[in-house]
Structure 1
């Protein structure tokens, strides 16, 4: 159950998509003066070293954020979509000396953008990551603005809904390490909507050859439609999902080929932002000719 460590995947193409969307949503929600509560159901360690053992072993950041930050990816005349430029600017804020030695996870990105009146609730059940998260957050000296809870976000996060200000963003991005995570996402979002129908919900999901993974966005769409809530679904594919056989006859899985972000009650500005950003992501993060993107929305 606890074999997954996001440190191996920090800064990869899925993080680029997830965090570009997260920042765009937060920027919009924080335009109103009323306090915002952000609930992160699977917070991870919060902060990652891209030159450390974990990220260095997988090298996934090289095909993600590091590729976007490389000079070759930023020709002077090439336009950069506002949402993608904003994401890269936030990453640079954590690396004032240049490059991307430090990669901020969603807890640190969120805290970086929040104001004094806002709150952040972080859930992490993995014992090692929970300790690392608590230690990383302690360095911020944020006091009561941030709560770190070593608990099951699926089972406990709804207790913060609705918050006193009645404004909240819930980010749900489990590892999907076990198949039951797909059903638990649906149960959690369904319960959360019943408690707080006007909250904003963002669900990250992998796109892999598994029935549960294929069904999840479809069932989230049904859930939102039945609740009478607007939704938006963005996906980014960087390579084929087919298993490759080498010259020696050995088969190799391609790693994560694609992922998506499904939002319920998204900002009305988000669709236009992603219409500009997703083509650039697919172009610059492509690992083979199968790179693509999609963007669907419903009222």
Structure 2
């Protein structure tokens, strides 16, 4: 990869995190007014249409994209991600964007911790130390024992665990299936399961909120399109650290638009989580080179 491609990849990743942060803000607004399952269901309808359109335009079309040697694994991945999104959007309503993203930022550490038992990768003592520091940061954010512990604070932690497992299963699936196949199953299976669940919770939506729903769907598809472009022009290890900017953008949105507060323990804890995550990414890149 050339330096120019890496620079373009970084800017695309920054744009991606901004779009996803805006998507989170819209999700927070809609989920506060309507059932979370219905909101995610409609979002997945558009996402599935986007995925199918992308697959149909590639060589081999839909048949090639849908062909997999591990259908159970691919189906489980799609279902897992859709449920994780429901949990995370619920966290936005319960805790707000700032605290939800501060806790969720630990997911790369969970991936590092679980990569050994699930993928058989070796995790050295340096990365284990970074994982420990990161979870110390999570404890500082949650403050168990210092104030009345909020059970709701475990919701974004559960979402982080689900997303980490999804990430590991995606890497496992990549051993036999292409990225296009995994992407196709992610969108279509998510739409199927969310339709089966969310259709029971349908409720009327006001015209202005249908506009926000359209913005949510478009931003979701646009964010995923940007992410595809990121990995087309640059190596994942070079741009992945910039994914943490979603925490910054989402927190800014929470503070400015939703009047959320930024407590000192959240700043300190999130700083430790991000620092540990960046060190983990650096170690993974160093050991791979």
Flag whether TM exceeds 0.5 (same fold).
Answer: no
Q: Which has the higher helix share?
A: 2
Q: Which has the higher strand share?
A: 1
